[in-house]
Structure 1
Amino acid sequence: MKRGWSLSTRLALLFGGLLLACGLAATALQIHAGEQREQEVVQRLSLGLAGHIAGHELLMLPDGPDAGNVQRLFTKLMDVNPSVELYLLGPDGKIIADAAPPGHLKRHQVNLAPLQRLLAGATLPVWGDDPRSEAGQKVFSAAPLWTNGRLAGYVYVVLIGEEHQALLHPWADAPAHIGAMALITGLAMLAGLLALRAITRPLQRLTRIVQHFDHDGLAGLEAAQQALANEPPSNDEIGRLRQAFGHMAQRLAAQWQDLSHQDQQRRELVANISHDLRTPLTSLHGYLETLKLKAALLSEAERARYLDVAIGQSRQVGRLAQELFELARLEYGAVTLSREVFALPDLVQDVCQKFALAAEARGQRLQADIAPALPQVDADLGLIERVLTNLIDNAIRHTPPGGLIELRLRALGQAVEVRVRDDGPGVLEHLKPHLFVRPSFQTGLRGRAGGLGLVIVSRILQLHGSQIRLMPSSQGADFAFQLAPVRT
């Protein structure tokens, strides 16, 4: 793909083009203004010339001027001052006499409106018709010619004649003007390029940093952050752009780390789920295979025991599959809250009654400690019931016979705090930092690991703007979370 010009080159060309256009326009305006000023000065200095000529004795005859004598007079006067052109006009503006060479006269009548304006004292310069041009206009001097008290015509003097105009053409000094303009433009261009280089240098450095990041990925991102930290501070547009890119680089680095962390968690989840599924499935397969191969050799009690074990393993697989389904729905935003106002103590009592027989069968004590006059909460009743179910089920499965499982409700500031505590083996130390973000199914004599149930609890509470916490405890596990009360 063809590479285009850089931003600096385009800015330099644009700046140079604008500077050249402005220089040419300034030169043209200067020449035009000089020409107009010159004509104004000439007209102002020679404004009374036509009046002096009109007072000549050849023009003051009783019967009016003689065209032949006027032509000879005009010829002599033009010999003395060749820059002017003299004409005698009739009252209607027709040219009666002139001293123009043969073939030079292009029109035979002059518009009298400019003469009237000049005689009335109009602001100079005033342009009138040039008889030696079909459409030209020039500055002039004019005076009325009176004979026996009547208007006999006008003396009309073109102040810048053909010879004068040929010697002082408005563009005659154009090379000098253009040369001066070129010198000024060149110096301005040099100064502009130096200023442009100083302005775009930080942008070029930022471009190299971005290209380095684009080429090297995460390693380039770290190098880009270091390079941006070494840049001198500035508050202009480029400085703000550099700061914005620095903030974006920090967010990208954090997101990259989060993605890597989530990918690692996902891999561990797959590995742990695979391990946890393999164990009950292997046991289930083994007992079913035994029942098939040795059905005739087993007693009724042995067959019943084998079936009970197989059913227990299948329930474990079903429970794990259900938890995986719930976690997937929470992770991908398929669950939406259906908030309602309810009394949390009533829900806790219902959940405790649901698990009373299971706790009694294990010889455990399940009790609720509820503070009086607790405010109602605004939450999804079904999901909060799922949170309590997971926590109590987890406590029952890991609490030894004779142990205590306690649910406690307390008002904490503007919220209601829920705590589920047991006196089982507690949580393995090395699993505590990631207990609610990644499931683990390792078990040991000194503690227990967190499974999918705690991860589901964490996701549900996040939807409610809350979080599950593992509280410090000398024995067993103590989980706590808070729910916001109804706002009145």
Structure 2
Amino acid sequence: MRAGSLSHRLSAVLAALLLTCCSVGIALQVRSAWRHERDVAQRLSLGLAQNIADHFTLMSPDGSVNATAVEALFHRLMEVNPSVEVYLLGLDGRVLAEAAPPGHLKRGRVDLGPVQRLVAGEPPPILGDDPRDEAGQKVFSAAPVRLNGREAGYVYVVLLGEAYDALSRDAALDAALQATGATMALAALLCLLVGLAAFAWITRPLRRLTEQVNQFDPDDSTVLDEALAMGPADAHPPAHDEIASLDRAFARLRRRIAEQWRELNAQDQQRRELVANISHDLRTPLTSLHGYLETLRVKSEALSQADRLRYLDVALSQSEKVGRLAQELFELARLEHGVVKPHRERFSLADLVQDVFQKFELAAEARRQHLVADIAPELPVVHADLGLIERVLANLLDNAIRHTPPGGSICVRLRSAGRRGVEVQVRDSGPGIPQAMQPALFTRPLLSARGREGSGGLGLVIVRRILQLHGSDIRLMPAVGEGAVFRFCLSDLHESLNSA
């Protein structure tokens, strides 16, 4: 794993969290131990002040205090138990007697609220004012001093005094440092071992996915075959975490890229074949045109008038083929690049078929062919671009007329297709289309598509592109006997609006 990897970052975050938790745990443990110690000390020494009040005379019958004698007593008691500090308080909380070293007494009055609560029997721990600390509070023991049956003051014993604080502070500090160092070392070791192991296991699918992404190369046919052979990503088991979801998403993306890459390669191949076929289509009539024109120039004086006219007719025919192919190529380029946008309108397809028949009537009569319109009654109107659909019908009829022998017939059949609108079939009685040429019939121009003189041109390619702009497509139907049958559908107005 390189520096700054996801596993390292996750391990660093875990280490920081463990360090924080250990620090907080140590602080809470020290605080809990300190509170427990104060509670235990107060409970154990709860009757200490009462014993002092019962066994020692701290006040004279007149209510005065022999401060010197009381301080000497308190001093001896504190020598017996150095952790305690003994004070005699008045009824107002003022310190009447104490045995503190000079300068150690920081306040001369103690709040009697905690004292009275402890005397009243409230359970410990209860903290009271520390006379040797201006703001500190300590656990204490307290008992009233009585004269003639009345309270005259209080014995106030601080259980954990200055001497205890001085000793426990250093000991606690050393213990805390030792505990903290041991805990930190253990936490760091656990973080290193557990974190690296856990995150290596957690991020293993991510590393595998990263490796797959780095190895994915669309130019490698083996990688594309593997992506397509995996099947749809939706068939994979459902994802249970984010990395698995990412893996499934990449699998879908990889398959989609593989499919699109294959489609692009296929389209590129089709374009190459299109350019090659168009070059062949252009070269043949141009060569013929050049040959006849050169013959007219070289042998003009030797040719008869009839021969010159015949040569000119052939040259003119070849020139028309070049012009027609150039026009088709220009039209296909405009369709492919989205320049042509269909302008939909309502019209009757039956009327359009009759108009197109009139345009091809003379060409069909010249070849002794019959144009048949088989139109079902009450057909719905269609919602399409009138000019583009007219071009579709014209291309199909022109193609059928050129490849149908004299005396044959061309039939245009219109039927209702239910929700799909109107079904159109264009059938001829020509030789049909060879099986080998059918797969590429609508993707590239075919030379002598039906084994006859002339070129297939780009007519069928243009037809398919126009129909795709209308949300439809054209198919070559299996024909019984001779001839070719082309079928496509156009939606009516209602269906077009719903699909939009």
TM-score for the superposition, normalised by structure 2:
0.85
Partners of 2:83 and 2:323 in 1: how far apart? Answer: 117
Are 1:435 and 1:450, in contact at CA under 8 Å, matched by a contact in 2? no
Q: Secondary structure at the match of 1:374?
A: coil
The percentage of aligned residue pairs carrying the same residue is: 59
Are 2:476 and 2:485, in contact at CA under 8 Å, matched by a contact in 1? yes
Report whether the alignment pairs 1:196 with 2:203.
no
Count of aligned positions: 485
Equivalent residue number for residue 173 of structure 1: 175
Structure 1 residue aligned with 2:458, among 443, 452, 469? 452
Deviation string, structure 1 residues 384-433 (Cα, Å, up to 9, x no partner): 11111111111112112211111011123433210111112221221111
Deviation string, structure 1 residues 304-328 (Cα, Å, up to 9, x no partner): 4444333333332222222222222
Report whether the alignment pairs 1:316 with 2:315.
no
Equivalent residue number for residue 246 of structure 1: 251
More displaced 10-residue stretch of structure 1: 311-320 or 289-298 = 289-298
Structure 2 residue aligned with 1:212, among 210, 215, 239? 215
More displaced 10-residue stretch of structure 1: 387-396 or 75-84 = 75-84
Q: Secondary structure at the match of 1:198?
A: helix
Paired residues for 1:43-122 under 5 Å: 43-55=42-54, 57-61=56-60, 62-112=62-112, 114-115=114-115
Q: Secondary structure at the match of 1:433?
A: coil
Q: Secondary structure at the match of 1:173?
A: helix
Report whether the alignment pairs 1:434 with 2:437.
no
Equivalent residue number for residue 236 of structure 1: 240
C-alpha spacing 1:479/1:35, structure 2 compared with 1 (3 Å): same
Report whether the alignment pairs 1:330 with 2:335.
yes
List gaps (5 residues or longer) in structure 1. none
Equivalent residue number for residue 270 of structure 1: 275
Deviation string, structure 1 residues 9-65 (Cα, Å, up to 9, x no partner): 222222222222212221221111221222223233434433443445432422232
Are 2:22 and 2:183, in contact at CA under 8 Å, matched by a contact in 1? no
More displaced 10-residue stretch of structure 1: 152-161 or 13-22 = 152-161
C-alpha spacing 1:397/1:40, structure 2 compared with 1 (3 Å): same
Structure 2 residue aligned with 1:482, among 480, 485, 489? 489
Partners of 2:206 and 2:231 in 1: how far apart? Answer: 12
**Amino acid corresponding to residue 258 of structure 1 in structure 2:** E
Equivalent residue number for residue 475 of structure 2: 469
Are 2:405 and 2:430, in contact at CA under 8 Å, matched by a contact in 1? yes
Partners of 2:134 and 2:230 in 1: how far apart? Answer: 73
C-alpha spacing 1:228/1:452, structure 2 compared with 1 (3 Å): closer
Structure 2 residue aligned with 1:369, among 356, 365, 374? 374
Offset of residue 92 of structure 1? 4.9
Q: Secondary structure at the match of 2:467?
A: helix
Equivalent residue number for residue 260 of structure 1: 265
Are 1:213 and 1:224, in contact at CA under 8 Å, matched by a contact in 2? no
More displaced 10-residue stretch of structure 1: 401-410 or 357-366 = 357-366
List gaps (5 residues or longer) in structure 2. 496-500
C-alpha spacing 1:162/1:442, structure 2 compared with 1 (3 Å): farther
Are 1:225 and 1:246, in contact at CA under 8 Å, matched by a contact in 2? no
Partners of 1:96 and 1:347 in 2: how far apart? Answer: 124
Q: Secondary structure at the match of 2:57?
A: helix
Report whether the alignment pairs 1:421 with 2:427.
yes
Equivalent residue number for residue 42 of structure 1: 41
**Amino acid corresponding to residue 20 of structure 2 in structure 1:** A
Paired residues for 1:318-397 under 5 Å: 318-397=323-402
C-alpha spacing 1:220/1:176, structure 2 compared with 1 (3 Å): same
Partners of 1:227 and 1:414 in 2: how far apart? Answer: 37
Partners of 1:75 and 1:228 in 2: how far apart? Answer: 94
Partners of 1:36 and 1:147 in 2: how far apart? Answer: 36
Are 1:50 and 1:157, in contact at CA under 8 Å, matched by a contact in 2? yes
Are 2:218 and 2:224, in contact at CA under 8 Å, matched by a contact in 1? no
Report whether the alignment pairs 1:138 with 2:138.
yes
**Amino acid corresponding to residue 451 of structure 1 in structure 2:** G
More displaced 10-residue stretch of structure 1: 473-482 or 52-61 = 52-61
Q: Secondary structure at the match of 1:439?
A: coil
Partners of 2:395 and 2:293 in 1: how far apart? Answer: 30
Are 2:432 and 2:450, in contact at CA under 8 Å, matched by a contact in 1? no
**Amino acid corresponding to residue 43 of structure 1 in structure 2:** Q
Are 1:86 and 1:156, in contact at CA under 8 Å, matched by a contact in 2? yes
TM-score for the superposition, normalised by structure 1:
0.87
Are 2:63 and 2:147, in contact at CA under 8 Å, matched by a contact in 1? yes
Partners of 1:368 and 1:23 in 2: how far apart? Answer: 92
Q: Secondary structure at the match of 2:432?
A: coil
Are 2:345 and 2:383, in contact at CA under 8 Å, matched by a contact in 1? yes
Offset of residue 374 of structure 1? 1.6
Q: Secondary structure at the match of 2:368?
A: coil
After superposition, the CA RMSD in angstroms is 3.3
Partners of 1:270 and 1:49 in 2: how far apart? Answer: 113
C-alpha spacing 1:389/1:176, structure 2 compared with 1 (3 Å): same
Are 1:218 and 1:253, in contact at CA under 8 Å, matched by a contact in 2? no
Are 2:477 and 2:487, in contact at CA under 8 Å, matched by a contact in 1? yes
